[in-house]
Amino acid sequence: MRKYRTKLLLKELFRKSIHICSALVPFFLDRWYALTVSLLVFAAAAYSICELLRLKGKKIPLVSNITELAARKRDEDRFVLGPVTLVLGILLAALFIPDPNARRIGIYALSFGDGLASLCGKLFGRVHLPGTKGKTVAGSLACWLAVFISSWMVIPVSHITFALATTAMIIELLPLADMDNIIIPPAIGGLALVLMSF
């Protein structure tokens, strides 16, 4: 049982390290916007093709291996949507949020908030929240804290960062499976844009 739990934690750590690495995207968007957007579209399309081929038994070296390493139990023998929804959420923020700071906050909320929520929930979560399909108090607090800190690093205004962290935590609490990847960046980035205008 302990060995199985360790294997699940390592899998989650691997998955969320990919999630957290998406925090680098704003750096590239700020410098090479069109190229970065193009590469994100290409990455989503290429991954989708590789994933469809994997499901037909044709493994693509490296990509299929990474997908299998990162896939959750619920994803076995199915198209693993996580990477596509991750890229789509970032693309929505990149395309529809004109302010670089607001866009950065939205992407950071996904990278750090959602990423650390799952990881801390698996590592330290003992108290489960009813109606959330297994979400934990530890995971929710980690999400709130990660979004508060990462937002504060961009806009050090406490009432704004408090509102952003609370909204991100609420979205992350909803039983949305991988769809929170699509919702969090534009929702939190859009809210940051609105709050910054007052």
C-beta of residue 188 within 8 angstroms of C-beta of residue 146: no
pLDDT class of 1 with cuts at 50, 70, 90 = low
For residues 142-167, average pLDDT:
96
Among candidate residues 99, 83, 91, the one with its CA nearest the CA of residue 186: 91
Please provide the average confidence, as pLDDT, over all residues in the chain: 88
Provide the CA 135 distance to its chain's centre, in angstroms: 15
Of the two residues 133 and 155, the one the predictor is more confident about is 155
Angle between helix 2-21 and 82-96 (nearest 10): 20
Task: Report which DSSP code applies to 132.
Answer: S
Question: Is the pLDDT score of 80 beyond 90?
Answer: no
pLDDT class of 66 with cuts at 50, 70, 90 = confident
Query: pLDDT value at position 196?
Result: 93
CA distances from 52 to 40, 43, 73, 119 (A): 18, 14, 18, 28
Side-chain half-sphere CA neighbours of 138 within 13 A: 12
C-beta of residue 61 within 8 angstroms of C-beta of residue 131: no
Measured distance CA(151)–CA(145) in Å, rounded: 10
Query: pLDDT value at position 135?
Result: 86
For residues 7-23, average pLDDT:
77
Measured distance CA(157)–CA(139) in Å, rounded: 24
C-beta of residue 13 within 8 angstroms of C-beta of residue 119: yes
- Three-state DSSP class for residue 129: coil
Measured distance CA(85)–CA(81) in Å, rounded: 6
Query: pLDDT value at position 99?
Result: 97
pLDDT class of 162 with cuts at 50, 70, 90 = very high
Question: Is the pLDDT score of 94 beyond 90?
Answer: yes
C-beta of residue 105 within 8 angstroms of C-beta of residue 186: no
Question: Is the pLDDT score of 74 beyond 70?
Answer: no
pTM of the model: 0.89
Question: Is the pLDDT score of 59 beyond 90?
Answer: no
